[in-house]
Copies of this chain bind each other. A is one copy, B any other.
Amino acid sequence: MFIDLLIDAIKEKDNPTVVGLDPKLDFIPQFIKEKAFKEHGVNLKGAAQAIIEFNKGLIDALCDIVPAVKPQLAYYEMYGIEGLMAFEQTVKYAKEKGMIVIADGKRNDIGTTAESYSAGFLGKTLISEDVLQPVFDADALTVNPYLGVDGIKPFIDDCKRYQKGIFVLVKTSNKSSGQLQDILTDKGKSIYEIVAELVEEWGKSLRGKYGYSSVGAVVGATYPNQAKILRKAMKHAYILVPGYGAQGGTARDVAHSFDGEGLGAIVNASRSIMCAYMSDNWKDQYSVDNYADASRAEAIRMRDDINAAIKT
């Protein structure tokens, strides 16, 4: 079961964090880009090759201490087919290195179409009667709940069939997330609380040995008060927490998403890890050639920061 594999990995590495692989070209060291552009041209292919090189360096430096990576599909789709090949290779490489891969695609559609998204990212695609083929084959996918259960059930079915997971957007980390998510209903609840109830319901049949479900939730670190409410409202949902670091969430903020045992949440950081080599914290200790070591140092700092906050 996905959620058990995730929690086992978090426990084994004593690290409740996931590194977002959102490889904007600005984040990638100049020497990597120069090499890729020289070999493949200053075009989508060159960009995609730089991304693969950068991601592999990060994965190599992080795979023994960080349980999971979260590639954000937008940052691959923006480089077209070549970018998606980089996504595919990143997923494969991270899995080979023993990491869990959460594809951040926020996919959503009506039932029959959601089945296709699910086949592409979590399940398998039927080519003919006797050929059923995995495609991008991530371990989990983020999904958007705006269409209700029809659009979620196909993913849940694949979670059961193939030991996969989903994280449903509940309360997102961005400034305007309240525009819809915080609206109060005539029953006195907010929309994010109603989505939280749905997440609990949707995950009932996918609970594992730790009591958590393979149907998780996304709750931003930037909203600690809502996180407190949501931790209680979704007792069985593992919470994927974006917004730590560059977006402003602190270890104290993210602590609200954890339970008393130090489980219940996995905190994402993207930019602060990927760009550690140019940060004030690390740029004096690590040259750009050692960007991956700087990322490792920042990943360790983040792990210890969060572990300290959740153990008090």
Contacts and interface: CB of A to CB of B under 8 A. Distances in A.
Contact of A120 (B74, B133, B169): B74
A151 interface: yes
Contacts of A116: 24, 72, 74-75, 77-78
A240 to B, nearest CB: 14
Interface in A112-139: 113-114, 116-117, 119-121, 125-128, 131, 133, 135-136
A174 B186 contact: no
A79 interface: yes
A80 B81 CA distance: 10
Nearest to A20: B113
Interface string A143-156: 01111111100000
Contacts of A80: 88, 120, 125, 135-136
Interface of A: 22, 24-25, 37, 42-44, 46-47, 72, 74-75, 77-81, 83-85, 88, 106-111, 113-114, 116-117, 119-121, 125-128, 131, 133, 135-136, 144-151, 169, 172-181, 183-186, 188, 191, 194-195, 198, 242
